[in-house]
């Protein structure tokens, strides 16, 4: 496994589940993702009709998604595709922009807007549901393992865990574990 590989699964039971503070942080981050979805719904018409014009308004959402998409896809689906989710996302955006430019004489076309909107909705939906579910069922480690963790609970099968790439969440979980289980 390469050092830059975002997928580093560990056996079930390796990581401690989050305590109340860790769950509250995950719930808060889930709410932030759902707020981003709310913004996307409000901006739907603008994003579809004039995507390039709206990009400054949603730039934070786009940059967050590009920066984190590797973790969402790799950890969430339990497959190691490295940085390909980011490359694919950027490549698809460039391809759609080029196709819009060649076919319609503008990159600011609804075809690009619809794809951008759908990609952002997928990203924030997957992340938001994972954060909320992780808070509810106390998924150890990364929230992106919450959906597999739920299926594991339902089926009774062991599901691999993953350290959270967000170091502040890992630190909160470690602090709570030390506080409740002093060595």
d(CA 123, CA 32): 13
pTM: 0.87
Q: Where are the alpha helices (DSSP H) in the chain?
A: 20-42, 44-49, 51-77, 84-104, 110-137, 146-155, 167-180
d(CA 59, CA 76): 24
Tokens (6 digits) for 20: 């109340």
d(CA 26, CA 19): 11
Question: How confident is the model at residue 128, as a pLDDT?
Answer: 97
d(CA 10, CA 159): 9
- Round the average pLDDT of the chain to a whole number and report it: 89
Q: Cα angle at 85 between 116 and 11, to 5 degrees?
A: 130
pLDDT in tens, 65-74: 999 999 999 9
Question: How confident is the model at residue 40, as a pLDDT?
Answer: 94
pLDDT in tens, 25-77: 999 999 999 999 999 999 999 998 888 888 888 889 999 999 999 999 999 88
Q: How many CB atoms lie within 10 A of CB 130?
A: 26
pLDDT at 84 over 60: yes
pLDDT in tens, 146-159: 999 999 999 999 88
């Amino acid at each position: 496994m390469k050092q830059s590989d975002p997928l580093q699964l560990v056996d079930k039971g390796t990581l401690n589940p989050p305590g109340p503070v860790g769950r509250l942080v995950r719930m808060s981050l889930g709410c932030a993702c759902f707020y981003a979805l709310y913004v996307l719904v409000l901006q739907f018409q603008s994003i579809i009709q004039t995507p390039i014009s709206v990009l400054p308004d949603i730039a934070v959402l786009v940059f967050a998604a590009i920066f984190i998409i590797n973790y969402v896809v790799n950890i969430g689906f339990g497959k190691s595709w490295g940085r390909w989710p980011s490359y694919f996302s950027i490549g698809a955006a460039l391809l759609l922009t080029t196709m819009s430019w060649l076919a319609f004489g503008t990159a600011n076309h609804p075809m690009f807007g619809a794809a951008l909107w759908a990609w952002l909705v997928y990203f924030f939906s997957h992340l938001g549901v994972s954060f909320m579910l992780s808070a509810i069922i106390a998924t150890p480690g990364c929230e992106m393992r919450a959906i597999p963790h739920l299926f594991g609970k339902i089926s009774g099968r062991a599901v691999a865990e993953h350290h959270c790439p967000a170091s502040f969440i890992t630190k909160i979980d470690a602090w709570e574990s030390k506080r409740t289980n002093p060595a």
